[in-house]
Amino acid sequence: MNRKASSMSTLPEEVVDNILSRLPVKSLGRCKCVSKSWRSQISNPQSVKFHLNRAVSDAKTNPFRLFTTYPFHALDYESPSSFEDVADDDDAIVDLGFPSGEPANGVEIMGSCNGLLCLLYFPDCFILWNPTIKDSRELPTSPTSSDGDLSLKGFGYVPSMDDYKVVRAIQTRVEVFSLKDDSWRRIEDLHTSIVIEEEVGTFLNGSLHWLASHHKGPTKQHVILSLDLEREKFSEISLPDVGKTFHTLAMFNGCLSLLSNEGYGNLWVWVMKAYGVNASWTKQVSLLQDDFLFCDYLVPVCSTKNGEIIIDIDGMQIIRYNLEERTVRNLKNRSEQYFEWLLYVETLVSPNTYQGFIST
């Protein structure tokens, strides 16, 4: 018997979980090869949960990666080697390939939860993929897949049900795929007056969110359309009531966020500090577009540990912006054309051995 495996087997299970939870995913992949008992221990759902929670809560590490197309690659944006003008001494940027082996053209990213990425491979093929452990699953096609173009879509996780769900709609007909049930079903229709302004939903707090508008009498009202994935019911969230134009709904540092252009090249990031509380909408970050040469649009991605902002510039470049010094540094990027991006966390969660815990 392998001496290391034998020694490990004499330790209490909670001690083993504590040890394994402190290792990066790649190291755990190598540990699986030590013995069957180690493989079983590392793949145990509770071990996967413990590792995920530890990784997300540990301030000393950065389990989050910036996933970018095309080709698919991941960037550790906290790494000293993440800058374009610095040698890549610690594999800050990593090529990921594509889960099905097919060319990556025509792929749209839906979102990420617990390290699982949801990809829409046109025309209507959804793929769940954990690029860290290189495990993927192609979802069955909806019976109505050929009925028309999608008007909205999204991906999220329901902690109370331990279930991942994919949402799609054609015109007003809305369908949800449950990973636990392995099937599509129809839920309540969209109201005919609703116009979806951003097709891909933003997942937060157990719900998906889309920027939308509808007419109430002669007035056009802009709202955030929300779908509670547990109850599978729609509701609406009001935008900040300040008479401004808002765009680009996203999640920024764990909160719903919106952008507003307020003249003179001044772009504000608004965040909803208390989810669902309209009075908690707050101006949080001001970005001066003059600091970004030849920039048509920019989208904040996240903050770094030292308070700098990672920003998508025109879908062509990722930069790191120092708010106090108003300086910009380009990050490494292997995209060959206009790209999409998302943040994901490196985990052991597999779409095939079905485990789900917290949403990230």
pLDDT score of 357:
45
pLDDT score of 168:
95
Average pLDDT over residues 170-189: 94
Write down all domains in the chain, each with its CATH number in brackets.
3-43 (no CATH), 63-345 (2.120.10.30)
pLDDT score of 189:
95
Check pLDDT > 90 for residue 106: no
Average pLDDT over residues 244-253: 91
Confidence class for position 139, pLDDT limits 50, 70, 90: very high
Q: How far, in Å, CA of 152 to CA of 3, rounded? A: 54
Residue pLDDT, tens place only, 273-282: 999 999 999 9
Q: How far, in Å, CA of 316 to CA of 339, rounded? A: 6
Q: How far, in Å, CA of 288 to CA of 268, rounded? A: 9
User: Torsion-angle region of residue 150: left (phi > 0), alpha (psi -120 to 50) or beta?
Assistant: beta
Higher pLDDT, 220 or 6: 220
Q: What is the mean pLDDT of the chain?
A: 86
Check pLDDT > 70 for residue 156: yes
3-class SS letters over 23-73: CCHHHHHHHCCCCHHHHHHHHCHHHHHHHHHHHHHCCCCCCEEEEECCCCE
Please report, to the nearest 10 degrees, the dihedral formed by the alpha carbons of residues 107, 155, 132, 15 taken in order: 180
Confidence class for position 227, pLDDT limits 50, 70, 90: very high
Give phi and psi for 349, each to the nearest 5: -65, 130
The tokens for 298 are 């920019």
Average pLDDT over residues 213-223: 83
Check pLDDT > 60 for residue 297: yes
